[in-house]
């Protein structure tokens, strides 16, 4: 295995720093503008992008977020209580639960995603720079 150089450590640290700045920004925006946690926002994003016409299964959301089933169920409960998503049991296999965004959830996500996209565009050159340095 090749030995890491000082430049490699610098790039690794720079990437982590850039990510932390973005994640701090994100956490603050989510808390102040929507009273959401980063995990709840990630769940809404995953549902929006992966749900399709039938919805997204709890298992698929668990995989996407890389968390245990019971953690996803807790996230879903909280988001459903705020009417940001809806659950529906499958007709064939009642154990299977599908989730979809509500119009309120979709609206809130659209607003937050635009803010995040704008910030990522602002910060992307810093992240791309350190990623390029890691490729050398």
Q: Confirm whether 90 is domain-assigned.
A: yes
Which spans in the chain are helix H?
A: 6-34, 38-50, 58-65, 69-81, 103-135
* Residue among 94, 98, 96, 95 nearest 85 (CA): 98
Q: Are the beta carbons of 68 and 35 closer than 8 angstroms?
A: no
The SS3 of residue 71 is helix
> What is the per-residue pLDDT for 96?
84
Q: Confirm whether 1 is domain-assigned.
A: no
Inform me whether the pLDDT recorded for 1 exceeds 80.
no
> What is the per-residue pLDDT for 134?
85
pTM: 0.89
The total of structural domains in the chain comes to 1
pLDDT tens for each residue of 4-49: 889 889 999 999 999 999 999 999 999 999 999 999 999 999 999 9
Domain span holding position 118: 6-135
pLDDT tens for each residue of 99-120: 999 999 999 999 999 999 999 9
> What is the per-residue pLDDT for 93?
75
pLDDT tens for each residue of 51-107: 988 889 999 999 999 999 999 999 999 999 999 999 988 777 767 889 999 999 999
> What is the per-residue pLDDT for 114?
98
Q: Confirm whether 74 is domain-assigned.
A: yes
> What is the per-residue pLDDT for 62?
95
Distance CA 64, CA 48 (A): 12
User: What DSSP state is assigned to residue 2?
Assistant: P
Q: Confirm whether 33 is domain-assigned.
A: yes
Q: Confirm whether 93 is domain-assigned.
A: yes
Distance CA 21, CA 37 (A): 16
Cα four-point dihedral sign 19, 25, 26, 31? positive
Q: Confirm whether 71 is domain-assigned.
A: yes
Q: Confirm whether 88 is domain-assigned.
A: yes
Domain with residue 45: its CATH number is 1.10.10.10
Q: Confirm whether 129 is domain-assigned.
A: yes
Inform me whether the pLDDT recorded for 136 exceeds 80.
no
């Amino acid at each position: 295995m090749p030995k890491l150089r000082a430049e490699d450590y610098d790039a690794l640290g720079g990437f982590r720093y850039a990510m932390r700045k973005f994640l701090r920004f994100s956490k603050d925006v989510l808390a102040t503008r929507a009273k959401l946690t980063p995990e709840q926002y990630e769940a809404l994003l995953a549902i929006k992008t992966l749900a399709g016409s039938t919805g997204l299964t709890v298992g698929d959301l668990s995989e996407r977020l890389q968390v245990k089933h019971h953690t996803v169920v807790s996230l879903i409960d909280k988001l459903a209580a705020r009417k940001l998503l809806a659950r529906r049991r499958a007709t064939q296999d009642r154990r299977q639960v599908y989730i979809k965004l509500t119009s309120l959830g979709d609206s809130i996500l659209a607003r937050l995603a635009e803010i995040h996209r704008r910030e990522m565009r602002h910060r992307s050159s810093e992240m791309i720079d350190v990623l390029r340095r890691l490729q050398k």
